[in-house]
């Protein structure tokens, strides 16, 4: 089993006037590099773009995020300090301004995770 990894998850929706393709392109080419300038102590910065699929009982997936962003930390102290910052402070002004070009900022949700993994013995 790998060493502990501490993760902050950001659940975000795109602005309603931006297509999913334009959203992903802007995030990858403009926002991610900008965020990287402010990502001290982050060991991995992962964007998981949601591809909505219908559910046989409930129908279309319409109310979820467009992206789940993961901030990974190897150092627990840096993780805790970053979590305290992102849950009590606004990001730097240039980040907030760029987010306005991309996200429905009112939809932001922040969570942390505790992971447990089951090894089914199927090997790698």
Q: What is the CATH number of the domain that holds 61?
A: 3.30.70
pLDDT at 3: 64
pLDDT along the chain (124 residues), means of 10: 80 96 97 91 95 87 90 93 91 91 94 85 72
Sort strands 109-112 and 44-49 into parallel, antiparallel or unpaired: unpaired
Residue 33 CA from chain centroid, whole number = 14
Q: Whole domain around residue 68: which residue ranges?
A: 14-112
Does a structural domain hold residue 53? Answer: yes
Q: Looking at the domain assignment, is residue 119 inside a domain?
A: no
What pLDDT, on the 0 to 100 scale, is given for residue 116? Answer: 79
In this prediction, residue 1 carries a pLDDT of 43
Confirm whether 8 is domain-assigned: no
In a domain, 100, yes or no: yes
Domain assignment present for residue 24? The answer is yes
pLDDT at 54: 87
Residue 52: name the closest of 63, 68, 41 by CA.
63
Whole-angstrom Cα distance, residue 116 to residue 25? 33
The pair of three-digit structure tokens given for residue 111, joined into one six-digit string? 């969570």
Q: What is the distance between the alpha carbons of residues 48 and 10, in angstroms, rounded to a whole number?
A: 10
Write down the pLDDT at residue 76.
92
- Whether residue 48 lies inside any domain: the answer is yes
Q: Is 41 a domain residue?
A: yes
Would residue 32 count as lying in a domain?
yes
**Total count of domains within the chain:** 1
């Amino acid at each position: 089993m790998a060493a502990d990894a501490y993760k902050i998850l950001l659940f975000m929706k795109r602005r309603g006037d931006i297509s999913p393709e334009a959203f992903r392109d802007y995030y990858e080419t403009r926002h991610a590099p900008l965020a990287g300038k402010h990502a001290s102590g982050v060991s991995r910065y992962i964007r998981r773009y949601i591809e909505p699929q219908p559910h046989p009982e409930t129908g279309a997936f319409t109310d979820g995020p467009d992206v789940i962003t993961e901030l990974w930390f190897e150092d627990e102290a840096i993780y805790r300090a970053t979590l305290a910052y992102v849950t009590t402070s606004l990001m730097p002004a240039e980040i907030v301004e760029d987010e306005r070009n991309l996200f429905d900022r009112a939809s932001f949700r922040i969570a942390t995770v505790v992971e447990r993994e089951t090894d089914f013995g199927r090997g790698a």
